[in-house]
Amino acid sequence: MIEKSEKDSREGLLINITGNGKGKTTSALGTCMRALGWGWQVSIIQFIKNKQENGEKRFAATIAENLEMVQCGLGLTHNSRASDAQHIEAARNAWEKAKSHLRAGKADLMVFDELNIVLKLGWLDVDDVINALRKRPKRVHVIITGRNAPDKLIAASDLVSEIKEIKHPYKSGIKARKGIEY
Amino acid sequence: MIEKSEKDSREGLLINITGNGKGKTTSALGTCMRALGWGWQVSIIQFIKNKQENGEKRFAATIAENLEMVQCGLGLTHNSRASDAQHIEAARNAWEKAKSHLRAGKADLMVFDELNIVLKLGWLDVDDVINALRKRPKRVHVIITGRNAPDKLIAASDLVSEIKEIKHPYKSGIKARKGIEY
């Protein structure tokens, strides 16, 4: 079902990119590229991703004047050693940072990468998140990514895309690739 | 159904991002950002898009040493005045450029933006396209975007995502927005 949302064209959109297919984070990053092209300020907060090198981070470092990117997670892989309590603490710290950035309104576009997962895992309260999103400066666009977006957050969003995996090389044992997956 | 593909991990992937939801081109652009972060050469050929300003083009101009971006289309809007013959000519010229870039192998990642649409409209022959993709230098990754990816091209791809529209502000009369949609 395609739902409607009522927004003035000068108001920032709340966008959610969810689903099990490849392309959620990259879609958000590509929108950042567009926004940067127009000279906007952009801020990306990566919730799950840890300090490991990735292409977007290396890239952001080259254009640091307009694009801020912080990785606030502890990773979420089978060999990640963080406890639930540590993940929850990291998520809360990331969310405090996200909220203070939202309130300050310095960025025209903010990306909260993997926030859907954090909410799904119950590390943050979805009502608190929606509340803070509602109170943001009106012009600010927000893109949230991650699988399994909560229904309440979808209801609060202006634009939601679901990326479905049709075919993925992981199935035949290809590892994540530099430049494509990270 | 998720199909398998057999690829050596040093071989470039053929990726297709299709579906009716927002996020196809931006997903490709975000992958370019990752690739650029790793110092790769990247080339983007936009098939349908015309010379109008867009955020990605403005952005590409700021990092021209590693990222090439050419717009080869005539637009595809209700008020586009190009004839079918003109569209076909533009698509063929774009494809010749794409093929010669593929053959030369100067880029590590190439994006053929909206090529799915061009194929769907019959402006290029899908077998010719698949043939040229098969003959590309093995290390080169290719991302093709656009609605309605042809079945034959999906079968030839390593990774396919379908972006489904769950909710879109266009439905309530919001126009395309700078920095988000272009």
Span B3-11, average pLDDT: 57
| pLDDT at residue B172 in the model | 53
Residues 6+ apart with CB under 8 A from A34: B26, B29, B54, B55, B56, B59, B179, B180, B182
What is the identity of the amino acid at B14? L
Buried b (16+ CB within 10 A) or exposed e, B105-124: eebbbbbbbbbbbbbbbebb
pLDDT at A131 over 90: yes
How many contacts (CB atoms, under 8 Å) link A and B? Answer: 252
Contact B13 A177 (CB under 8 A): yes
Task: Note the pLDDT of residue B1.
Answer: 39
Of B18, B167, B178, the CB nearest to A159: B167
The closest alpha carbon to B47, from B123, B160, B158, B101, belongs to B123
More confident residue, B148 or A63: B148
* Cβ contact A30–B28 (<8 Å): yes
pLDDT tens per residue across span A88-106:
998 999 999 899 888 888 8
Q: Does A22 touch chain B (CB under 8 A)?
A: yes
- For residues A113 and A182, the answer to whether their CB atoms sit within 8 Å is no
Provide the Cα torsion B110, B114, B116, B120; round to 10°: -150
Q: How confident is the model at residue B139 (pLDDT cuts 50, 70, 90)?
A: confident
Max avg pLDDT among A8-22, B11-25, B132-146: B132-146
Residue A28, pLDDT above cutoff 90:
no
* Chain A contact for B26 (CB, 8 A cutoff): yes
Tell me the per-residue pLDDT of A41-55, one tens digit each, with 9 for 90 and over: 888 888 777 777 788
- Taking only residues 40 to 99 of chain B, the set having a beta carbon closer than 8 angstroms to any beta carbon of chain A reads 40, 54-60, 62-63
The two three-digit tokens of residue A95, written as one number: 């969310």
* Residue where the block lists tokens 């958000």: A28
pLDDT value of residue B3: 45
The predicted-structure confidence for B91-100, as pLDDT tens digits, reads as follows 999 999 899 8
Contact A33 B59 (CB under 8 A): yes
Full set of structural domains in chain B with CATH: 14-172 (3.40.50.300)
pTM given for the model? 0.81
pLDDT at B131: 94
C-alpha A80/C-alpha B26 separation (Å) is 30
Residue B129 has pLDDT above 90, yes or no: yes
The C-alpha angle A33, B140, A76, rounded to 5 degrees, equals 60
Q: Do B150 and B116 contact (CB within 8 A), yes or no?
A: yes
B68 pairs with which residues across the strands? B43
Q: Summarize the confidence of residues B23-35 as an average pLDDT.
A: 88
Cα→Cα distances A37→A66, A86, A101, B102, B130, Å: 10, 37, 21, 26, 33
Nearest to A46 by CA among A22, A80, A21, A75: A75
Q: How confident is the model at residue B110, as a pLDDT?
A: 87
Residue B4's pLDDT is 45
What is the mean pLDDT of the segment spanning A20-28? Answer: 86
Using pLDDT thresholds of 50, 70 and 90, give the confidence band for residue A153.
very high
pLDDT of residue B64: 67
Q: Binning pLDDT at 50, 70 and 90, where does residue B171 land? A: low
pLDDT surpassing 90 at residue B138: no
Is B22 in Cβ contact with A23 (below 8 Å)? no
CA distance A95 to A166: 32
What's the pLDDT score for residue B119? 94
Nearest CA in chain A to B180: A31
The pLDDT assigned to A2 comes to 43
State yes or no: pLDDT of A32 exceeds 50: yes
For residue B132, give the H/E element and its range: helix B126-134
pLDDT tens-digit map of B54-105 = 888 888 888 766 778 788 888 876 666 788 898 899 899 999 989 988 888 8
Q: For A131-144, what is the mean pLDDT?
A: 88
